[in-house]
A = this chain, B = another copy of it.
Amino acid sequence: MLPALSGLLRPVPAAAQAPATDSPLPSWNDGAAKQAILDFVRATTDQSSQNYVRPEERIATFDQDGTLWVEHPMYSQVVYCLERVPAVVAKRPELRNAEPFKTVLSGNRAAMAKLSMKDLEKILAATLTGMSVDEFNAEAVKWLETARHPRWQRPYTDLVYQPMLEVLRHLRDNGYKTYIVTGGGQDFVRIYSERVYGIPPEQVVGTAGATKYGYAKDGKPFLTKEPKLLLNDNDAGKPEGIHLMIGRRPLAAFGNSNGDREMLEWTDAGAGARLKMLVMHDDATREYAYGPAAGLPDTKVGALTAALYGEAKKDGWPVISMKNDWKRIFAFE
């Protein structure tokens, strides 16, 4: 029976009288991107659909930086690591005059911007490993509570995209398990994923290092974060990480950069209805515009969309324009 007809025949139930925002994706403008999401969910959850998927297999994966929250001007976890350097050097004074720590301590932003990927890895290793998991969690929680994004002067966890939270919710309302699959540190993201995204820690796949089990003086066991990389969850590491941590191929995947290419490709290569989408940063007023999709020269962060965006255009799969598809960017607006 059509809903319109049923409304004529019996009293409208309370739920149906709720304001229009109770329909899915209220922060999305009507258009191809919104429609693609709605169509995909219907196709995979309507029992009469030829692409129906039983609930157990409904998996959707989301990149984080630039897909679920702001990644400019710098990945927040990198900011965290840089800001941790003074505390690390206080404990390990031999690093004070060693590079790249000396440059970071100098506060010279021009010099810091020139640090190489190898330098950055040294900083990540020194600030993310060599302590217990509990110590790391306590430090990161403290930082997340006090750190502020330089532009909005708000906690980084406020800078999540409201329209993407609605996609997560719409998928979950339809029986999907939603996962974050991030190049960021798995332990870092797990601290706030439940509170911020409604995604429990066990559904966060990220760049992950080994831990080492040991005992404190009182005999209590604890885990130490080791400087040994188990999973570099970028590029091909994303499908590899999905296999390791989930063991099922996702039906839907969302990303925003070339680091997400393999995840999108892997998702798309399965049978039946599939959804792969890119978030395009083309809104300099409300967020940022960067990358060729915005008609701008490449910039350091998120610069990698060029080839992937070309592919999406060529093959006709939907790209999310922050400027045109989203009514608002953040919940606090």
Contact = CB atoms under 8 A, between A and B. Distances in A.
Interface stretch (A70-78, A244-252, A285-293): A244-252
Given A245-B202, A265-B221, A269-B220, A213 B240 contact: yes
Interface size class of A (residues with CB under 8 A): 35 or more
A250 to B, nearest CB: 11
A127 interface: no
Contacts of A231: 230
A204 interface: yes
Interface in A192-206: 194, 200-202, 204
Interface in A9-38: none
Nearest to A198: B56
Contacts of A210: 240
A230 B244 contact: yes
A248 B245 CA distance: 14
Copies of this chain: 2
Contact of A230 (B133, B186, B220, B230): B230
A246 B245 CA distance: 9
A190 interface: yes
Interface string A224-249: 00000011000010011001111110
A212 interface: yes
A194 B56 CA distance: 9
Nearest to A223: B243
A6 B128 CA distance: 57
Nearest to A133: B243
Contacts of A186: 244, 247
B269 A221 contact: yes
Given A194-B56, A213-B262, A266-B213, A223 B247 contact: no
B213 A247 contact: no
A296 to B, nearest CB: 30
Given A186-B247, A202-B246, A212-B240, 20 more contacts: A56-B200, A133-B243, A177-B202, A186-B244, A200-B248, A201-B247, A201-B248, A202-B245, A202-B248, A211-B244, A213-B239, A213-B240, A213-B262, A220-B269, A221-B239, A221-B265, A221-B266, A221-B269, A223-B243, A230-B244
27 contacts: A56-B194, A56-B200, A59-B202, A177-B202, A186-B244, A186-B247, A187-B247, A190-B247, A201-B247, A201-B248, A202-B248, A204-B247, A208-B244, A210-B240, A211-B244, A213-B236, A213-B262, A213-B266, A220-B269, A221-B239, A221-B262, A223-B239, A223-B240, A230-B230, A230-B231, A230-B244, A245-B245
